[in-house]
Structure 1
Amino acid sequence: MMKFSDLLKPDAVKVMGSCSSKKRLMHDIADLAESVHGLHAQRVVEALLERESLGPTGVGHGVALPHARVSGLDEVLGVFMLLERPIDFDAVDRQPVDLVFSLFAPEEAGVEHLKALALVSRTLRDAGLCTKLRANRDPATLFTILTEFETVKAA
């Protein structure tokens, strides 16, 4: 079974003081993916924006799940950002977004990519979890909240 700890490393969690726009956020996500996972930032930005053009990944309740397939990857990887100031993300419920979990999958990833997306989506639909995340500004704590949540749910 896929776990959050398979997708996320402690240093792939970041708290952003302010972000001016959705496009700027995509660049911030790509920079983090480059520094943590060694992905090519410009390619990541292009892939994320291309995916967004198919339909916004703001899933509601302040949560966005931007994702893309990126060449050169051999596993699904993620980064998580907490935005101190929510931004407009063209979300389905028109609410601004402050919890952003971005997933990157190998170009030929089939079910793994979908499983990862389902896991993240299910986890971030939990209102209690989101409240906890929003109450913290420490990346290590946020990582723990995200990775321990599934253990509690599984028990």
Structure 2
Amino acid sequence: MNLREYFDKDDIIIENKRRTKKEVLKYLTELASNKHNLDKDYLFNKILERERKLTTGIGGGLAVPHARLSNINKCHLIILINKKGIDFEAMDDNKVNVVVLILSPKNKVKNHIALLSKVSYLLTEENNIDHILKTNSTEEIVKKLNS
């Protein structure tokens, strides 16, 4: 599975303004709703609904908020890099530096699980997040996500 088919270069955002989980989720859902013509309030509520079950801050500086939606026909990723760190209520109680929002069609459960697995595996491999945090180049981040 090549992650590159699920995001454009402009779906990688490097910024340090947002510092809380709610701010980041609101920002990412607004970006996704604008780009993919989705209802932003509905999307935000779907993401929060998932977060209430269990945080998607899986540890190691990574969070993977996600939702399965009936009104899309393809999976999408939006990636936010925050070098200062976000209080995301992560499982390891550490700040999160990389947030990957995954949106999947409701009827493509296998794709959704495969994407969650690929993103989690790739970004929890030793030094991958450190490498991403050391660059300001979206091209470098795209390369790392394609490895």
Normalised to the residue count of structure 1, the TM-score between the two structures is 0.88
Q: CA RMSD in A?
A: 1.4
Tell me, in whole angstroms, the C-alpha distance in 1 between the residues paired with 2:136 and 2:70: 32
Are residues 1:9 and 2:29 paired? no
Contact 1:18-1:84 within 8 A present in 2 as well: no
**Secondary structure in 1 aligned to 2:124?**
coil
Cα shift at 1:98: 0.8
Contact 1:65-1:101 within 8 A present in 2 as well: yes
Cα shift at 1:84: 2.7
Tell me, in whole angstroms, the C-alpha distance in 2 between the residues paired with 1:35 and 1:144: 26
Q: Name 1:61's counterpart in structure 2.
A: 60
Change (3 A) 1:12 1:38: farther
Q: Name 1:88's counterpart in structure 2.
A: 87
Question: Identical aligned pairs, as a percentage?
Answer: 24
Q: Which residue type is aligned with residue 112 of structure 1?
A: N
Residues 3-38 of structure 1, C-alpha deviations (whole Å, 9 max, x = no match): 111222211110122213111110111122124333
Normalised to the residue count of structure 2, the TM-score between the two structures is 0.92
Tell me, in whole angstroms, the C-alpha distance in 1 between the residues paired with 2:72 and 2:136: 30
Tell me, in whole angstroms, the C-alpha distance in 1 between the residues paired with 2:34 and 2:139: 17
Q: Which residue type is aligned with residue 137 of structure 2?
A: D
Q: Name 1:45's counterpart in structure 2.
A: 44
**Secondary structure in 2 aligned to 1:101?**
strand
Cα shift at 1:126: 1.2
Tell me, in whole angstroms, the C-alpha distance in 1 between the residues paired with 2:145 and 2:111: 19
Q: Name 2:32's counterpart in structure 1.
A: 33
Q: Which residue type is aligned with residue 5 of structure 1?
A: R
Tell me, in whole angstroms, the C-alpha distance in 2 between the residues paired with 1:144 and 1:20: 26
**Secondary structure in 1 aligned to 2:78?**
strand
Q: Which residue type is aligned with residue 105 of structure 1?
A: S
**Secondary structure in 2 aligned to 1:127?**
coil
Cα shift at 1:144: 2.6
Change (3 A) 1:138 1:39: farther
Contact 2:19-2:87 within 8 A present in 1 as well: no
Q: Name 1:153's counterpart in structure 2.
A: none
Q: Which residue type is aligned with residue 11 of structure 1?
A: D
After superposing the two structures, state which structure 1 stretch, 94-103 or 132-141, moved more: 132-141
Q: Which runs of 5+ in 2 are unaligned?
A: none
Tell me, in whole angstroms, the C-alpha distance in 1 between the residues paired with 2:13 and 2:48: 20
Tell me, in whole angstroms, the C-alpha distance in 2 between the residues paired with 1:115 and 1:83: 25
